[in-house]
C-alpha cells in the first residue's frame, strides 16, 4: 500500500463523508486560487494544516513525504521568473519584478498543494471513486480510473519482485548492468501489464460484464449542518482577505 493511502485509511476523518471534506478543502483551494495571494495563501495553508494535523491527525512525516516533491517543483519552476530575456542582443538579465512574482506563485501554489494533499491524506480513493458517478461523472471514466488504481499496486509488486531477482543476479553491480536491467524491467512490466489487462477483460466478459462495475460502498451520513460547517473556514478566509484589502486601501 502506498504511504498516502495508508495515511488516509488511518485518519479519523475517513468516516467523514467525502462531500464534507470536499467542501472544506475544495473551498480553501478556491480561496487560494481566486483570492489575492497575500494574505489568502498563508491563511489557507494555516487553516488546512491546523485541521489536518489536529482533528484529522495526519502524520507530519507522511505529509512531508508527500509534499516535498510538488513543493520542490514549484520552487524550481518559480526561479525562472527571476530573470528576463530580451534587449537588443537578447541577453539574460535579472528582472526587478521577478522576486515579487515568484513569491506570489510560490505562495499560491503551495497553499493549493496543501489543500489537495491533505484531502488525499484523509480520503481513500476507494471511498471517493464510487461516489463520483452520483455527481454526474461518466461511469466509464470512473471505472477506468478505479481499474488503473487497482492495477497500480499489482504493477508495483511485480516491479519489486523483478528488481529483487535482478539484484540477486548482480544486475545493478555497475552502470552498464544497471541500464540493461532497467530496460529489461520496463519491458517485462509492459508485457505483464498488457497480458494481465487482457485476462481481466476476458474474465469480466465471462462474468457477464454489461458496462458497469457494481461495488459495495460504505454508507456515510451526510448532514447539511456538516456541509455548512465545512464551508465556514473558506468564508472566514475570504472575509479576512477582503477586510485586509479594504484596510490596506484605506491606509
Is the per-residue pLDDT at 122 higher than 90? yes
pLDDT of residue 21: 94
Q: Are 67 and 117 in contact (CB under 8 A)?
A: yes
Q: Are 227 and 20 in contact (CB under 8 A)?
A: yes
Q: Are 134 and 22 in contact (CB under 8 A)?
A: no
Q: What is the mean pLDDT of residues 147-166?
A: 88
Phi, psi of 4 (to 5 degrees): -70, -35
Q: Cα 9 to chain center, whole Å?
A: 16
Most confident of the following: 18-22, 142-146, 220-224: 18-22
Confidence of residue 18 (pLDDT cuts 50, 70, 90): very high
pLDDT of residue 1: 61
pTM score? 0.83
More confident residue, 104 or 214: 104
More confident residue, 24 or 212: 24
Q: What is the mean pLDDT of residues 41-48?
A: 94
Is the per-residue pLDDT at 251 higher than 60? no
pLDDT of residue 83: 86
The residue with cell 460484464 is: 209
Taking only the tens place, the pLDDT of each residue in 181-236 is 999 999 999 999 889 888 888 888 888 777 677 776 777 888 899 999 999 999 99
More confident residue, 3 or 229: 229
Q: Cα 136 to chain center, whole Å?
A: 22
pLDDT of residue 23: 95
The answer to which of 66-80, 136-150, 209-223, 227-241 has the lowest mean pLDDT is 209-223
Question: Would you give the DSSP letter of residue 136?
Answer: T
d(CA 5, CA 69): 17
Q: Are 98 and 81 in contact (CB under 8 A)?
A: yes
Q: What is the mean pLDDT of residues 3-7?
A: 85
Confidence of residue 131 (pLDDT cuts 50, 70, 90): confident
Q: What is the mean pLDDT of residues 36-46?
A: 93
pLDDT of residue 90: 61
The contacts of residue 151 (CB under 8 Å, 6+ apart) are: 193, 196, 197
The residue with cell 487560494 is: 32
pLDDT of residue 87: 60
Confidence of residue 165 (pLDDT cuts 50, 70, 90): very high
- If you average pLDDT over every residue of the chain, what do you get? 87
Amino acid at each position: 500500500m502506498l504511504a498516502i493511502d495508508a495515511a488516509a485509511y488511518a485518519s479519523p476523518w475517513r468516516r467523514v463523508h467525502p462531500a464534507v471534506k470536499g467542501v472544506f478543502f475544495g473551498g480553501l483551494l478556491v480561496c487560494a486560487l481566486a483570492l489575492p495571494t497575500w494574505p489568502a495563501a498563508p491563511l489557507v495553508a494555516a487553516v488546512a494544516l491546523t485541521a489536518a494535523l489536529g482533528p484529522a491527525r495526519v502524520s507530519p512525516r507522511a505529509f512531508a513525504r508527500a509534499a516535498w516533491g510538488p513543493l520542490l517543483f514549484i520552487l524550481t519552476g518559480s526561479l525562472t521568473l527571476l530573470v528576463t530575456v530580451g534587449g537588443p542582443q537578447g541577453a539574460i538579465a535579472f528582472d526587478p519584478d521577478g522576486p515579487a512574482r515568484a513569491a506570489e506563485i510560490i505562495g499560491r501554489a503551495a497553499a493549493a498543494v496543501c489543500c489537495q494533499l491533505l484531502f488525499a491524506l484523509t480520503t481513500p480513493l476507494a471511498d471517493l471513486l464510487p461516489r463520483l458517478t452520483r455527481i454526474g461523472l461518466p461511469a466509464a471514466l470512473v471505472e477506468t480510473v478505479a481499474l488503473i488504481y487497482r492495477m497500480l499496486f499489482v504493477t508495483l509488486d511485480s516491479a519489486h519482485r523483478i528488481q529483487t531477482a535482478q539484484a540477486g543476479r548482480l544486475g545493478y553491480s555497475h552502470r552498464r548492468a544497471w541500464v540493461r536491467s532497467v530496460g529489461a524491467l520496463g519491458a517485462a512490466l509492459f508485457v505483464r501489464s498488457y497480458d494481465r489487462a487482457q485476462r481481466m477483460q476476458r474474465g469480466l466478459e465471462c462474468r457477464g460484464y454489461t458496462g458497469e462495475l457494481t461495488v459495495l460502498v460504505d454508507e456515510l451520513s451526510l448532514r447539511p449542518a456538516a456541509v455548512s460547517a465545512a464551508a465556514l473556514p473558506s468564508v472566514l478566509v475570504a472575509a479576512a482577505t477582503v477586510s485586509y484589502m479594504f484596510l490596506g486601501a484605506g491606509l
